[in-house]
Amino acid sequence: MNRLITIAGLCLLCATQVRAQWTVYDPAVHTQTILNGVQEIAKFIEVINNQVQQISVLTEQVNEFKKYEGLFGDPSKVLLGTVRPLIDDLRKTELGETLTALEDAADAEEAMVYTASGLYRSVGTQFTTPGGATVTRRREPYLAVAAVQKTTDNYLAVSTDAAARRVALKQQIATTTEQLRSATTDAEVQKLTAVLTGMSAALESTDQEVGQATASAVVQDIANRADAQRQVEAKKEQQHAEFTEAVTKYGETFRLLTAPVTFPTR
């Protein structure tokens, strides 16, 4: 009897342990866990595929850019030797001065001794009379002459400088044109064309500077001629007034006799 009870207890205990093992290892939960892992792997594979596609697109873009670069060139690698001379010329301070500055710089004493590098003869600031007296020349009549001399010197300086710059710019234009003719990429063509445009503008600028210097000299000469005419008119008016005044005073001092002349009788 006791053996039966013992065997029955052992069987019951084994059955309890077996039931407990099946409760821990649930097939449905295990299957769901596997499915979740498969879904995560599928999503990961999808992400990888997307990244592969993006890399393929980027590779195609890089290849297209290399193809474009081969046809049109890389602008950053196009170095032009004529750019620096052009920049230096454009940044150069203009040699010519304004008419106002030239008029302010006019000096009468300089006008008296002006020779234009030996072209003219100096009149000097003083002269000697036949009697041996030394006379200092008046400054006022020479100021207008000094202004014209200043504008003339300004024109000569500007035209000389412009002539030298024109020679240099035309040489640079010729060199750039040769480079443009042998250019192999669009980037090089675009840069060379831009440089040629800048050189043409600089060449035109030299003409403008010479024109401005010429205009200053012409305007000053016109102003001097107008002032000379003004001085003549003022002198004529003054002489007329002085003559009228002198005649009036002469008439008041020396009156004509209106009474008949009588001769003394014995």
Q: Is the dihedral of CA 34, 36, 37, 43 positive or negative?
A: positive
Type of residue found at 228: A
| Residue 128, φ and ψ in degrees, nearest 5 | -115, 130
pTM, two decimal places: 0.59
pLDDT at site 8? 47
Q: What is the mean pLDDT of residues 179-187?
A: 83
Q: Which residues contact 151 (CB under 8 A, 6 or more apart)?
A: 99, 102, 213, 216, 217, 220, 221
What is the distance between the alpha carbons of residues 261 and 28, in angstroms, rounded to a whole number? 170
Degrees to nearest 5, angle at CA 122 with 121 and 123: 115
Strands 134-136 and 126-128 turn out to be antiparallel
* DSSP codes, 144-188: HHHHHHHHHHHHHHHHHHHHHHHHHHHHHHHHHHHHHHT--SHHH
pLDDT at site 4? 45
pLDDT at 178 over 70: yes
Q: In angstroms, what CA-CA distances link 250 with 77, 236, 244?
A: 96, 21, 10
| Residue linked to tokens 């500077």 | 209
pLDDT at site 7? 47
Q: How far is CA 58 from the centre of its chain?
A: 42
Query: Can you give 57-94 as a three-state secondary structure string?
Result: HHHHHHHHHHHHHHHHCCHHHCCCCCHHHHHHHHCCCC
pLDDT at site 20? 44
| Residue linked to tokens 């195609």 | 60
Q: What is the mean pLDDT of residues 124-152?
A: 91
Q: In angstroms, what CA-CA distances link 76 with 81, 192, 252?
A: 14, 13, 97
User: What residues does each domain of the chain span?
Assistant: 2-71, 75-251
pLDDT digits (tens, 9 = 90+) for 18-32: 444 444 556 666 677
pLDDT digits (tens, 9 = 90+) for 70-124: 555 566 666 667 788 888 887 888 888 998 999 999 999 999 999 988 888 999 9
